[in-house]
């Protein structure tokens, strides 16, 4: 057990890997140490967001130059998660999570650790249903173990990339005599994110496995995980899991803390998350001590916030997730003074309706 290091790399374009290259050239970490590259890329974050694929392919080419693995296979070793959408003043960037070498001295206080794993491929009939919840819960437990996290309360953020239904695998399900949760491939993204988030809730003990039935998934927003952040991608048939938390066995000089935003303007939650990592929200040097803030954002489904109407769901020109990311990034930036944060949309069962989990990774002096 050695702990995790985190590098944040602002980018000039989705395929700008010059910052990643510099880190590899200067041996901040090597490809073997890298467990996850988590990107905020500047597409629309919706169906036709090609900035994600471009960033992934560019990362594969760059990492491929520093490892014998072929570019197309890099993703088997390193979780490449690209989340689209940097609306408002959000800074496009990559966050590199790498294992520290085991030689560093050990802390006495809990410090940042992380672990990854993947599920086996899902049968299309399982997606968005209880089997996906259970398989995800098992994977989260494995990743916790790998991270050296033994207590569920020590989990602060779980990032999951999960599959979705496509015309092809819907047909396959039917050929097998099975039904699927929805015929609408776009909606299947929500179902898959939802089942993944509930899997996290089960693994962390936030939710009893018995409480999860198919009726809850995407239906009951009162049931949620406070640490899940999930996104669906067409390029995989299984799920990939990154668990982040703190452990006394870690020798990292970083620590992670989290809270849950109740709505998009919930500054108190962001401030609580900042305080849990030992920082003060009013410290003028705050941003220099924060490595990154990871947040899930969504517009409240009833079109109301603090008793006021918002028009996000009535705007047929801009997708709801685009509005929501812009707002939450601005709110976080109003506190940290930094426009760089990782805000991701589509938060089914990830925090309450209209809100979402917020995690802060900070440097300890």
By annotation, the residues acting in catalysis are: 161, 231
153 touches a second copy by CB under 8 A: no
46 touches a second copy by CB under 8 A: yes
CA dihedral 209, 214, 219, 224 (to 10 degrees): 20
Report, in Å, the least distance between residue 313 CB and a second copy: 8
Nearest to a second copy of 188, 329 (CB atom): 329
19 touches a second copy by CB under 8 A: no
Contacts of a second copy in 266-305 (CB under 8 A): 267, 299, 305
Contacting residue, 1, 23, 28, 53, with a second copy by CB under 8 A: 53
193 touches a second copy by CB under 8 A: no
358 touches a second copy by CB under 8 A: no
Q: Are 342 and 290 in contact (CB under 8 A)?
A: no
353 touches a second copy by CB under 8 A: no
- Token reading at 106: 């050990």
Per the listing, tokens 């069962």 go with: 349
CA 206, CA 198: separation in Å to the nearest integer? 9
Q: Are 194 and 229 in contact (CB under 8 A)?
A: no
Q: How many residues bind a second copy (CB under 8 A)?
A: 60
315 touches a second copy by CB under 8 A: yes
How large is the C-alpha radius of gyration of the chain?
19
Beta strand pairing call for 34-41 and 79-84: parallel
Report, in Å, the least distance between residue 192 CB and a second copy: 17
Per the listing, tokens 């910052």 go with: 19
* CA-CA-CA-CA torsion sign (239, 82, 221, 318): negative
18 touches a second copy by CB under 8 A: no
CA 337, CA 364: separation in Å to the nearest integer? 19
CA 13, CA 90: separation in Å to the nearest integer? 13
Contacting residue, 48, 103, 108, 222, with a second copy by CB under 8 A: 48
CA 189, CA 293: separation in Å to the nearest integer? 24
Q: What string of DSSP letters covers 167-220? A: HHHHHHHHHTT---S-S-HHHHHHHHHHHHHHHHHHHTTSS-GGG--TTTTTT-
Report, in Å, the least distance between residue 270 CB and a second copy: 9
Report, in Å, the least distance between residue 311 CB and a second copy: 5
Nearest to a second copy of 253, 275 (CB atom): 275
Report, in Å, the least distance between residue 176 CB and a second copy: 21
Q: Which stretch binds a second copy (CB under 8 A): 133-141, 208-216, 237-245, 337-345?
A: 337-345
CA 159, CA 281: separation in Å to the nearest integer? 25
Report, in Å, the least distance between residue 348 CB and a second copy: 16
5 touches a second copy by CB under 8 A: no
Q: Which of 276, 246, 259 is nearest to 352 (CA)?
A: 259
Letters for 234-273 (x = contact with a second copy by CB under 8 A, - = none) are ------------------------------xx-x------
334 touches a second copy by CB under 8 A: yes
Q: Are 164 and 233 in contact (CB under 8 A)?
A: yes
Q: Is 108 helix (H, G, I), strand (E, B) or coil?
A: coil
Contacting residue, 20, 37, 38, 58, with a second copy by CB under 8 A: 58
Contacting residue, 3, 5, 49, 277, with a second copy by CB under 8 A: 49
Contacting residue, 335, 347, 359, 362, with a second copy by CB under 8 A: 335
Nearest to a second copy of 41, 107 (CB atom): 41
Per the listing, tokens 């899991």 go with: 241
Could you give the C-alpha distances from 83 to 50, 233, 308, 342, in angstroms and in order? 11, 10, 30, 9
Q: Which of 157, 75, 175 is nearest to 359 (CA)?
A: 157
- Residues lying near a second copy in the complex (CB under 8 A) are found at 10, 12, 14-15, 41-44, 46-51, 53-54, 57-58, 61, 71-72, 86-92, 264-265, 267, 299, 305-306, 308-312, 314-319, 322-323, 326-331, 333-335, 337-340
């Amino acid at each position: 057990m050695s702990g995790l290091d985190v590098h944040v790399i602002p980018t000039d374009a989705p395929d700008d890997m010059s910052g990643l290259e510099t880190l590899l050239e200067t041996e901040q970490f090597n490809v073997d140490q890298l467990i996850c590259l988590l990107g905020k890329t500047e597409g629309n974050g919706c169906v036709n967001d090609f900035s994600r694929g471009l960033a992934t392919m560019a990362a594969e080419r760059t990492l491929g130059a520093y490892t014998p693995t072929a570019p197309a296979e890099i993703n088997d070793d390193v979780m490449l998660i690209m989340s689209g959408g940097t609306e408002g003043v959000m800074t496009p960037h990559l966050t590199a999570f790498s294992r520290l070498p085991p030689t560093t001295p050990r802390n006495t206080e809990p410090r940042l650790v992380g672990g990854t794993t993947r599920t086996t491929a899902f049968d299309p009939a399982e997606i968005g249903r209880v089997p996906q919840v259970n398989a995800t819960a098992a994977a989260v437990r494995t990743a916790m173990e790998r991270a050296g996290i033994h207590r569920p309360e020590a989990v602060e953020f779980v990032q999951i990339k999960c599959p979705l239904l496509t015309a092809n695998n819907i047909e396959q399900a039917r050929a097998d005599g099975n039904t699927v949760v929805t015929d609408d491939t776009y909606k299947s993204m929500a179902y898959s994110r939802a089942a993944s988030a509930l899997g996290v809730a089960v693994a962390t003990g936030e939710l009893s496995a018995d409480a999860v039935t198919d009726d809850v998934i995407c239906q009951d927003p009162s049931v949620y995980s406070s640490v899940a952040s999930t996104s669906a991608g067409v390029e995989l048939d299984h799920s990939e899991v990154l668990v982040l938390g703190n452990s006394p066995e870690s020798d990292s000089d970083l620590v992670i803390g989290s809270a849950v935003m109740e709505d998009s303007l919930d500054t108190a939650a962001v401030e609580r998350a900042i305080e849990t990592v030992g920082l003060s929200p009013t410290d003028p040097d705050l941003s220099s001590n924060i490595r990154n803030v990871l947040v899930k954002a969504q517009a409240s489904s009833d079109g109301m916030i603090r008793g006021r109407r918002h028009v996000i769901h009535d705007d047929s020109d801009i997708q709801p997730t685009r509005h929501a990311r812009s707002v939450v990034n601005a709110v976080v930036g109003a506190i940290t003074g930094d426009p760089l944060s990782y805000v991701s949309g589509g938060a089914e069962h990830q925090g309450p309706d209209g809100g979402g989990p917020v995690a802060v990774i900070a440097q300890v002096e």
